[in-house]
Copies of this chain bind each other. A is one copy, B any other.
Amino acid sequence: MIKDQIVPAGEVDPAHFDRGIFFGDGVYEVMRSYSGKLFALEEHLQRFGNSLSAVEITGIEMEEVRARILRAFDAAGIANAKIYFHVTRGSAPRDRAWDDSLEPNFFLNVSEVSDNTAERTNGIAASTHPDWRWKRCDIKSLNLLANVLAVADARGKGCAEAILVDEAGLITEGAGSAFFAIRGQTLQTAPLTANILPSITREFTLKAGRNIGLEIVEESLTVQQAAGADELVIASTTQDIVPVVRFEDRPVANGTPGKYAELLNREFRSFTR
């Protein structure tokens, strides 16, 4: 039955029996292009392969994925494109256990990256939310309801992003971004553990930080430490580096974007050309 219409199971589009919808049994990537040039394709393919292995989805050739990305990107003809793709374990009658003969489903969508010049220039507000996510956030899986609920909470508070806080009171990352504090000459972010997505933009942000002379510290921050930082920034594939000028309803430093946010963004942009 779909909405209020009874349909024999055999006639239903297999999309409705996708293990992706029944269980979130799949993994995904989001990548982008800058002015017609794909950015960090190899890094995204590498991470995608890691996610597939971690959830034991087999039968996906990475060369095939690469070819599909290039073909779809080409066909779309969008200069600043956001490319989303996922693989699920396949479509089958609902059962937690799976059959190894299942054929994985592949879905890819190309769209225009939303322009976020205003956010990058003026900064955003961020609030915190308990980190309700599962214990394997190192896998980029389709289980994202905790992120969705955290963002909804943030939007309800007039904030653009939710910063997730674990049970020990430590910041893990944003609901859809990596999170950094600049304190003195240091650029600090949480270390990569099972609770953190190995964000590709995080790596490039750390590289940008090193290039502009900041010391990198990979240690978790408390909410209080973050609130007292000189600057806060988030970073993600589709947003680059965005200054957080209000955090937990208070201004960060003087409440305007800091100099390092701008320097980091400039350096980061140089990688994308």
Q: Which residues of A contact B (CB under 8 A)?
A: 1-4, 6, 9, 13, 15-16, 18-26, 55-56, 64, 68, 71-72, 75, 84-86, 88, 93-94, 96-98, 105-111, 130-136, 141-149, 151-152, 155, 175-176
Chain B residues with Cβ under 8 A from A3's Cβ?
105-106
A175 touches B6 (CB 8 A): no
- Closest Cβ–Cβ distance, residue A162 to chain B (whole Å): 9
> With A24-B24, A72-B6, A147-B96 as given contacts, are A134 and B132 in contact (CB-CB < 8 Å)?
yes
A24 touches B145 (CB 8 A): yes
Chain B residues with Cβ under 8 A from A88's Cβ?
21
Listed by A's residue number, 8 A-B pairs whose Cβ atoms lie within 8 Å are A1-B109, A1-B110, A2-B106, A21-B88, A22-B144, A23-B147, A55-B149, A94-B109
B98 touches A152 (CB 8 A): yes
Chain B residues with Cβ under 8 A from A151's Cβ?
96-97
Chain B residues with Cβ under 8 A from A84's Cβ?
94
B4 touches A55 (CB 8 A): no
B148 touches A141 (CB 8 A): no
> With A13-B15, A21-B21 as given contacts, are A96 and B56 in contact (CB-CB < 8 Å)?
no
> With A3-B105, A109-B9, A132-B135 as given contacts, are A21 and B175 in contact (CB-CB < 8 Å)?
no
Q: How far is the CA of A22 from the CA of B155 in the complex (A)?
A: 19
Chain B residues with Cβ under 8 A from A4's Cβ?
64, 68, 106
Q: How far is the CA of A93 from the CA of B113 in the complex (A)?
A: 12
Contact of A142 (CB < 8 Å), options: B13, B22, B147: B22
- Closest Cβ–Cβ distance, residue A200 to chain B (whole Å): 18
Q: Which residue of B lies closest to A132 (CB)?
A: B135
A1-B85, A15-B16, A23-B145 are known contacts; what are 17 more A-B pairs with Cβ within 8 Å? A1-B72, A4-B68, A13-B15, A16-B107, A18-B21, A21-B26, A21-B142, A22-B142, A23-B148, A24-B144, A84-B94, A96-B148, A97-B151, A141-B145, A142-B145, A143-B144, A143-B145
Chain B residues with Cβ under 8 A from A130's Cβ?
135
Chain B residues with Cβ under 8 A from A98's Cβ?
148, 152
